[in-house]
Amino acid sequence: MSINEGFLIEIERETANTRRLISRIEDKDLDWTPHEKSMTVGRLVGHIVELHNWVNKALRSMHFDLATDYLPFHPFSIAEALEALDGNYELNTEFVDSMTDEDWQKEWTIQFGDYVIGNMPKIAALRFVIYNHLIHHRGQLSVYLRLLDIPVPGLYGPSADDRQG
C-alpha cells in the first residue's frame, strides 16, 4: 500500500467519524461551554472542521504561518460546519492523491510570524499537526456531548450509548 492510499483511507474514515459526531449537535448548543476557559461547542466544532481542511490548505505550501495564512472558522450552524467538512473532503483527497512519496518527505514549517513552532516532513505534519490535533479536539467534543446529555456515537467501536440501544 502506498503512503497516499493509507492517508486516503484515513481521510475517509476520520471525516466520517467527525461527521457522525457533529451531526448529533443542535444549533441551540453552539454557544455552550463547560468552563469559562474552554471553547464553546461552536468554536470547537469549527476548529475540528478547519483542521480537517488543513490537509489541503496548510500542506499545499512548504510553510504555514498562523499569523497570515490562518483564518479561524466560526460556523453559525451545524449545517454550515457539515457543509465545510464535506466541501473540502474532495479537495483533501485530490491533494493527497497528487502527492508523491518524495513530496511527503519535503520539509514543512508551521510558524506564527517570526516564531517557528516546528519543522518536519509533510508526512509527519499530516499525522502530528493535523490528525493527532483534530482527534484530540474531537475527544474534547465527545465529552461536551456527554455533559450536554447528547448520545455519543461510537467512533472506533460502539460507545456506551450505542450499547444501551
- The structure's pTM equals 0.95
**pLDDT tens digits, 110-158:** 999 999 999 999 999 999 999 999 999 999 999 999 999 999 999 999 9
Give 132's contacts (C-beta < 8 A, 6+ positions apart): none
Q: In this structure, are residues 109 and 87 in contact, taking their beta carbons and an 8 Å threshold?
A: no
Fold of 3-163: Four Helix Bundle (Hemerythrin (Met), subunit A) (1.20.120)
* pLDDT above 60 for 57: yes
Kind and range of the H or E run holding 7: helix 3-22
Residue 164 clears pLDDT 80, i.e. is over it: no
Burial environment of residue 113 by CB neighbours within 10 A (0 to 12, 13 to 18, 19 or more): exposed
Number of Cβ within a 10 Å radius of residue 13? 12
